[in-house]
Structure 1
Amino acid sequence: MSATIHQLSGGQRPASIEPLMQLVAPELNGVNEIILARMQSDVAVIPALAGHLISGGGKRLRPMLTLACARLVGYEGARHHKLSASVEFIHTATLLHDDVVDGSGQRRGKKAANLIWGNEATVLVGDFLFSRAFELMVEDGSLRVLKILSSASAVIAQGEVDQLQTQRRIDTTEDRYLRVITAKTAILFSAACQIAGVVAESSEQVIESLEAYGRYLGIAFQLVDDAIDYGGDAETMGKDAGDDFREGKLTLPVILAYKRGNDEARAFWRKAIEDGKTDDADFAEACRLMAGAGAIDDTLERARHYGRLAQDAIADFPAGAAKDALLETVRFAIARAY
């Protein structure tokens, strides 16, 4: 897997998120202060549970995209700081809810919050963070920003429900899979980038370009996530390898391996996905079948395709540190498991 992912960078130096982090570091400190302040509550379990995930090693990629896109369009105000915090709260809330739905054991390399505090508290703290996100949106005062972020929240929830409907459905199509990952992952990337253009009062063409960059980046990001579930390690991913397989999620590697398999391979996939009774030997067999079908390689090739679309979306923006960082972020998103 590592060699394959390394090829995504064309044999160049390893991709890095450092340029993005350095670009927005001073502003991100302010965003982190907002996040820490707004996750506080007199109910002690709320900041404890929220802090377990928020302070658990996440890169703050989505809020950093808001900050970097604002820099790209020359915005010099501070409205996007609260909105960046709002984006992070939406993301964190969805992670908390996902862990309950999926029964996850790890998140960002740590024990999942629901295993420590229970499902009920985890869901309710997720709701609390959603509420904080909406408070920050309202404080900004822009109806358009509110519409973008609130719509994104609704689409994410729909995407998660849609994914739940495809779980253990071996007949799931590539088109439906793409619809699911666009909704549950890419929509928040696109919203995070788009709102930077809105607060900067950029032209509609600029706002649309930022939205496209974020959407294509988010699709590429999720495609790589789904690929490395069959070849990464827990330290790299922050979760256990094979979680998607054990949960019966119909990700693109499975869809491709099933479609391309012979009768024996298809029988294996039907039993593994539909029956849901799998062990380590089944996971090893799944990885073998995927390798034989070229399913991982082709999933990563699709990630490269969407990565190129993301880079093309901002090709006409002025050269500079912000553009360089955003282009490098695409490379990092695709090659991050190497």
Structure 2
Amino acid sequence: MSENVVPITGKQTASVIDELQALVAEDMKHVNATILERMQSHVALIPQLAGHLIASGGKRLRPMLTLASARLIGYEGSRQNKLAACVEFIHTATLLHDDVVDESKMRRGQETANEIWGNQASVLVGDFLFSRSFELMVEDGSLKVLKILSAASSIIAEGEVLQLSVAGDVSTSEETYLKVIESKTAALFAAACEIAGVVAEQGEDVEAALRDYGRYLGIAFQLADDALDYSAKQATLGKKIGDDFREGKLTLPVMLAFRRGDDTEKAFWRRTMEDHDQTEEDLTQALAYLTKHDTLADTLNRARHYGSMAKDALAIFPDSKAKTIMCGIVDFCIDRAY
């Protein structure tokens, strides 16, 4: 780990989300109004399906990071509001497509859109939301913003395809896994923060710092999320333990357990993850192997490493309420896995 990174304290609680929401509350009113307005269509199924996911309890962390980044650098305009809505549309579209690819039945404790309306409708409404996001980019009028967000959309798609190409391959390298999560998750976090620097016109150094903060936060967020799937805390979030396991979704805890396991353990992971041959008892066995090799703790240690770098990226900015909250969000994203 770099010697100049800011250590993660691990003392933040969910209250930092409340602080973030309060910080950007006025701007979020405009963001939410834009989301509601732009998801409307004369085709009734579109707002019905999109609204199901948008209203399903997500924290809207990514658009709030756009707004918080604008506050951090003292931007007093309003362009960040439509762009934050654009970020949320991109995120929602990718969730719709993800659930189809993963054949997911539940998200945030509710039935997924594809489970209710089918795969075809979910894919097409996801495409609609992507289109709406590009309309908002064009309306902003900045080619640089358009370049950042369109590039992020492309990278997300590449990450999806890369994940699909290694699906179930328990021998996948950690390097490839990191490429997947950098593409699927971190790219949008990075773009969401960077565009605030662009609209504020404060130069490349500010844009790069915000981009790095978002990128490292996104990696830490996904690493913690992958550990959380096997954590008892899932029950408090209205989710089942081991959804990734049941779906055969390869994440770092399993990859580490496979790498460290003996021949019997490796055969277990190949059967359950590669061959999708699972029994009701297999999740218990999987959890035992993850515990044996301490892979959840190691995954969280990696999350802390990237979280520390996210905090370090904010070092160029003077101390402020926004900076304190954005550092706290790093801790929250990791601590939620406990």
Same fold (TM over 0.5): yes
The residue number in structure 1 matching 2:221 is 221
Task: Summarize the alignment of residues 186-205 of structure 1 with structure 2, pairs less than 5 Å apart.
Answer: 186-205=186-205
Contact 2:307/2:331 (8 A) holds in 1: yes
Query: In structure 2, how many angstroms separate the alpha carbons of the residues matched to 1:227 and 1:335?
Result: 11
How far has the Cα of 1:316 moved from its partner? 2.3
Amino acid at match of 1:12: K
Amino acid at match of 1:253: P
Q: Please, what TM-score do these two structures have when normalized by structure 1?
A: 0.95
The residue number in structure 1 matching 2:3 is none
SS of the equivalent of 1:96 reads: helix
Query: In structure 2, how many angstroms separate the alpha carbons of the residues matched to 1:248 and 1:120?
Result: 22
Cα distance, 1:79–1:13 mapped onto 2, change above 3 Å: closer
Query: In structure 2, how many angstroms separate the alpha carbons of the residues matched to 1:337 and 1:273?
Result: 23
Query: In structure 1, how many angstroms separate the alpha carbons of the residues matched to 2:198 and 2:10?
Result: 37
Number of paired residues?
331
Task: Summarize the alignment of residues 136-175 of structure 1 with structure 2, pairs less than 5 Å apart.
Answer: 136-175=136-175
Query: In structure 2, how many angstroms separate the alpha carbons of the residues matched to 1:264 and 1:327?
Result: 43
The residue number in structure 2 matching 1:183 is 183
Amino acid at match of 1:221: F
Query: In structure 1, how many angstroms separate the alpha carbons of the residues matched to 2:121 and 2:182?
Result: 28
Query: In structure 1, how many angstroms separate the alpha carbons of the residues matched to 2:308 and 2:285?
Result: 32
How far has the Cα of 1:186 moved from its partner? 0.3
Provide the alpha-carbon RMSD of the alignment.
Answer: 1.4
Query: In structure 2, how many angstroms separate the alpha carbons of the residues matched to 1:35 and 1:14?
Result: 28
The residue number in structure 1 matching 2:51 is 51
SS of the equivalent of 1:146 reads: helix
Amino acid at match of 2:13: P
Matched, 1:103 2:97: no
5+ long unaligned stretches in structure 1: 1-7
How far has the Cα of 1:266 moved from its partner? 1.3
Matched, 1:19 2:13: no
How far has the Cα of 1:14 moved from its partner? 2.8
Matched, 1:283 2:263: no
Cα distance, 1:332–1:162 mapped onto 2, change above 3 Å: same
Query: In structure 2, how many angstroms separate the alpha carbons of the residues matched to 1:234 and 1:300?
Result: 15
SS of the equivalent of 2:172 reads: coil
Query: In structure 2, how many angstroms separate the alpha carbons of the residues matched to 1:37 and 1:224?
Result: 33
Greater mean deviation of Cα atoms: 323-332 or 240-249: 240-249
Task: Summarize the alignment of residues 258-337 of structure 1 with structure 2, pairs less than 5 Å apart.
Answer: 258-337=258-337
Matched, 1:94 2:101: no
Greater mean deviation of Cα atoms: 244-253 or 90-99: 244-253
Query: In structure 2, how many angstroms separate the alpha carbons of the residues matched to 1:308 and 1:14?
Result: 17
SS of the equivalent of 2:75 reads: coil
The residue number in structure 2 matching 1:112 is 112
Contact 1:69/1:210 (8 A) holds in 2: yes
1:244-296 CA-partner distances (Å, limit 9, x unpaired): 11222221001100111112211211111111011331111111001110100
Query: In structure 2, how many angstroms separate the alpha carbons of the residues matched to 1:13 and 1:198?
Result: 30
How far has the Cα of 1:310 moved from its partner? 0.2
Query: In structure 2, how many angstroms separate the alpha carbons of the residues matched to 1:78 and 1:144?
Result: 17
Amino acid at match of 1:94: T
Contact 1:106/1:238 (8 A) holds in 2: no
Query: In structure 1, how many angstroms separate the alpha carbons of the residues matched to 2:230 and 2:137?
Result: 38
SS of the equivalent of 1:116 reads: helix
Greater mean deviation of Cα atoms: 239-248 or 171-180: 239-248
Cα distance, 1:133–1:235 mapped onto 2, change above 3 Å: farther
Query: In structure 2, how many angstroms separate the alpha carbons of the residues matched to 1:210 and 1:13?
Result: 21
The residue number in structure 2 matching 1:77 is 77
Q: Please, what TM-score do these two structures have when normalized by structure 2?
A: 0.95
Cα distance, 1:238–1:218 mapped onto 2, change above 3 Å: farther
How far has the Cα of 1:19 moved from its partner? 1.6
How far has the Cα of 1:232 moved from its partner? 4.0
The residue number in structure 2 matching 1:125 is 125
5+ long unaligned stretches in structure 2: 1-6
Contact 2:224/2:299 (8 A) holds in 1: yes
SS of the equivalent of 1:315 reads: helix
Greater mean deviation of Cα atoms: 146-155 or 238-247: 238-247
SS of the equivalent of 2:43 reads: coil
